A and B are shown apart, each in its own frame.
Chain A
């Protein structure tokens, strides 16, 4: 296994600005939902910012937690798919093959992080937004499941460019859209197999925790926060 992609998110740095959410929408051709559909819980946010409150109003502290597909090593979404539409690729990513998906939505139910999104209708964009689609990312049809890919199109391009120049991929060369656009620099992306990479060092630091770790899903997203 050449690469094992992972991410670290520093919760002490996150300001909850949701720039990552907007960047993800633009990069990954996420369908837009009208307000009525969004209210029904059908908005697409491959990355979302969960808010947690501490204390009683007005003496309140708010904490933000960006939640995206945790790219679990033992992903509960994978075994339940009858058509192998979701499976583990050689670089440890949970990839979704849209063409295979028949839409049983079992993976969505079995994801403890609720990060899977279903195309309830054929996707639509108000004019002229469909003109700004990213040509590197396919537009998903109605009736299939989708989720964060760690911007696999950027990973592929980075590997191709490095290969063409006959050099190894440098740490930090590939950045998903959310990481690239984080103004607080709270997010780090890289290869966990490379012990010298920034993300591997952060993941090994004492501040790293993983979401719902006791479920044994072995997520590859690490949340950094002060030990209490």
Chain B
């Protein structure tokens, strides 16, 4: 019996560790390409810092543009990891094993990218730390009434929390890798394993820590996106000042997070040849969840828009009209198709739902959710209460470059991560076979 377990463990290790050794030419090309794109984005940002934020297309009255659209989008994506993995861990869902680490890594990388955008967006980015809640030389604290301060506090908490949450389940894996790897990699794994020996006591502490972190990170994740929503909802601007925004944003974040997770799963499954681990049933289960979130998103969107339309208040109707039949209408209807119509067609029926259709639906949802954030921010700003101040935003090449480069950066982070750590928690499988 023991030998069977051992061979199974060896098999596991072989399949899941294989991607860590060596790099194919295709991998190197992808890495170089994403690196160059990311570097181009950093170059554009440097240019913007030197010349002034005016190289972006933002203007009066649309003082917020692509940067904050991307900010909300990436913070939304980050909900993939924590929420999905924490819920699955807390409910002890048996099928979670191949999903959790892929999800948790998305969270950390998406947050690293998302948290950069408010800084990129500042007029004087080099003094962004003035928002950090500690008193300055004159003992003046920052303004705790400002939603932006809540935002900074929430995101820093979330980022540190999710790094710990990604790291905890990595410890047994890096400890095992440390036994096999040599050279600087060995030293790195050894350092990261922080003295893990696999004793019963350590396992016990780890499980307890993971369980507690899952509970805490769940609360933090919900509050973070609520606070992001309040950046808008606390303003008196028409259609921003809405009580539904907190839950609407959280639902949207989970929605786009699941889509990002499914897309990452289907790419990793293909490229790392993990078809034996990431199974169609995982896509089916998460596909159902994506469908559920699509319905929830549609429900929220109808609630928000129907009440606005029925209420018929002039300043709100200006913004509403620009969305459903004005200059923003093409984006609005594409969003509805991407977020509701296509997911409905692709996911609602058991016969249609497959790895391929779930992947397609997750791509359309990502497009739709990016548009949703665009449609939340820009129409409101374009139609201020005094009609004489109306004005439209057009992004410049700088904003577009930086936006594109963040998608490249996400891919690059993932490529590097997959070379250092197994994309699936090896110990979780072994643990089960021992039980």
A interface residues, Cβ below 8 angstroms from B = 37, 40-42, 48, 50-52, 67, 76, 79-84, 100-106, 108-110, 112-114, 116-122, 141-145, 211-212, 215
Taking a contact as CB atoms under 8 Å apart, the answer to whether A79 and B124 are in contact is no
Taking A83-B142, A119-B123 as contacts, is the C-beta distance between A142 and B384 under 8 angstroms? no
Counting contact residues on chain B (CB < 8 A from A), the size range is: 35 or more
Taking a contact as CB atoms under 8 Å apart, the answer to whether A143 and B52 are in contact is yes
A49 to chain B, nearest CB (A): 9
Report, nearest first, the 10 A-B pairs whose CB atoms are least far apart.
A103-B123, A120-B54, A143-B123, A114-B389, A121-B52, A50-B388, A105-B63, A143-B124, A82-B146, A41-B59
Within 8 A of A (CB), among B355-410: 381, 384-386, 388-389, 391
User: Does any Cβ of A come within 8 Å of B64's Cβ?
Assistant: yes
Closest to A87 in B: B143
State in angstroms the CA–CA spacing of A129 and B278 once bound together. 69
User: Does any Cβ of A come within 8 Å of B53's Cβ?
Assistant: yes
Taking a contact as CB atoms under 8 Å apart, the answer to whether B388 and A144 are in contact is no
**Which secondary structure dominates chain A's binding surface?**
loop
**Which secondary structure dominates chain B's binding surface?**
loop
Stretch binding the partner chain, chosen from B15-23, B29-37, B182-190, B233-241: B233-241
Closest to B51 in A: A121
State in angstroms the CA–CA spacing of A117 and B58 once bound together. 12
Of the candidates B58, B123, B152, B391, the one whose C-beta lies within 8 Å of that of A101 is B123
Supply 13 further A-B pairs (C-beta < 8 A) apart from A83-B131, A118-B123.
A41-B60, A80-B146, A82-B130, A84-B140, A101-B123, A103-B124, A106-B235, A109-B235, A109-B237, A143-B123, A144-B123, A144-B124, A215-B385
Taking a contact as CB atoms under 8 Å apart, the answer to whether A114 and B61 are in contact is yes
Taking a contact as CB atoms under 8 Å apart, the answer to whether B142 and A82 are in contact is yes
Within 8 A of A (CB), among B226-273: 231, 234-237
State in angstroms the CA–CA spacing of A79 and B121 once bound together. 20
Of the candidates B52, B236, B385, the one whose C-beta lies within 8 Å of that of A122 is B52
Of the candidates B51, B64, B146, B389, the one whose C-beta lies within 8 Å of that of A105 is B64
User: Does any Cβ of A come within 8 Å of B127's Cβ?
Assistant: yes
Of the candidates B140, B143, B384, the one whose C-beta lies within 8 Å of that of A81 is B143
Taking a contact as CB atoms under 8 Å apart, the answer to whether B234 and A80 are in contact is yes
Contacts of A212 in B (CB 8 A): 385-386
A228 to chain B, nearest CB (A): 18
State in angstroms the CA–CA spacing of A80 and B151 once bound together. 12
Within 8 A of A (CB), among B47-84: 51-54, 57-61, 63-64
Q: B52, B60, B118, B130: which has the most chain A beta carbons within 10 Å?
A: B60
Taking a contact as CB atoms under 8 Å apart, the answer to whether B236 and A82 are in contact is no
Closest to A113 in B: B386
